Amino acid sequence: MRVEADMKLDYKDVLIRPKRSTLRSRSEVSLDRTFKFKHSGQTWTGVPIVAANMDTTGTFETAAVLSSMGLITAASKHYTPASWLPQPDAVKANMCASAGTSDADFEKLIKVMGGNPAIQFICLDVANGYSEHFVHHVRKVREQFPTATIMAGNVVTQEMVEELILSGADIVKVGIGPGSVCTTRKQTGVGYPQLSAVIECADAAHGLGGYIVADGGCTCPGDIAKAFGAGADFVMLGGMLAGHDESAGELIERDGKFFKMFYGMSSATAMTKHHGSVAEYRSSEGKTIQLPYRGPLRDTIQDLLGGIRSTCTYVGAATLKELPKRTTFIRVTQQLNHVFSAHDVHVRPNPQAQAATPGEDEDGDEDGAAAPDATETEPKRAK
């Protein structure tokens, strides 16, 4: 046993110090970046924000909106190969085909990639990227898809970032436990403060010609800016993109207000939906919540991109690529003034057509999985 005494930081522990700037307007800031990937040899240009490969955020409806704005969507791995075929190539080009490490996942990935040559990205996603089996799987997928850009994780330390890049990953997913519906830290005691993880892992990745995606922990546009300022090349968002028209998850009406279901992919909800139950040898490491309904996703994306542009003007960064060079973090004890938080005015939009949950058939039942038992009083479902 050993104790590391160095202070490790989260997004809530710092603010970005403003600096002299020659920029006159947020409109002068470019958030586009161009990357050439180490192993795939591919080049991609766009805004390096990624919708997480969760049932509720990694939807084709989300991808249609994000691709039109230059962002990426990591699709839920529970989409069938057939469901990919009708999607436009322009949308597929900004999507990741997601997969786990089982033989069934690998065979499904082969079918998805084989039938959709427009897909450039693969997301290999496991909760624990430290297993030797995962490293071997990354090598196996790289051998099978030599020209695909592979995103793999999750890890939080430099040595594993290096291991995954040397094994064939172009982008390493960084984050264990910071997500809004993740309970890994509570259930296991394992994790790493996200800002420090991003700073340290970015340094390791860039030394080998690789990249990282900061996955989890962002609660507002300022946190996304901090992740980029800390050296993240991409930022992956889950909870910030949930609860919209394009998000999957049941729409619920309660006392005249609308909510949408949002759950972690290691939650009892997800495991019951896709595997019939929580296996006896494990516990749930995620939670299920009801988010206030947020309306169209495009409005939220415009708001967060506006916040990041504003960050850049405060520090004099004309491009997103310049932001880490212009960032100085200061330790703080308080982020916001909450004196009137209870009196915030929230405009609640009326629900529009909602996205379907990946892996469900037209009747709303999961193909091949047992339906979960109703253990709680069900609120009124919106029509």
Which are the catalytic amino acids? 182, 184
- Beta pairing class for 234-237 and 49-51: parallel
259 neighbors 290 (Cβ within 8 angstroms): yes
Q: Which two tokens stand for residue 44?
A: 């991609």
Our CA dihedral for 173, 130, 268, 292, rounded to 10 degrees, sits at -20
Half-sphere exposure of residue 370, counting CA atoms within 13 Å on the CB side?
A: 10
Q: What is the distance between the alpha carbons of residues 3 and 332, in angstroms, rounded to a whole number?
A: 24
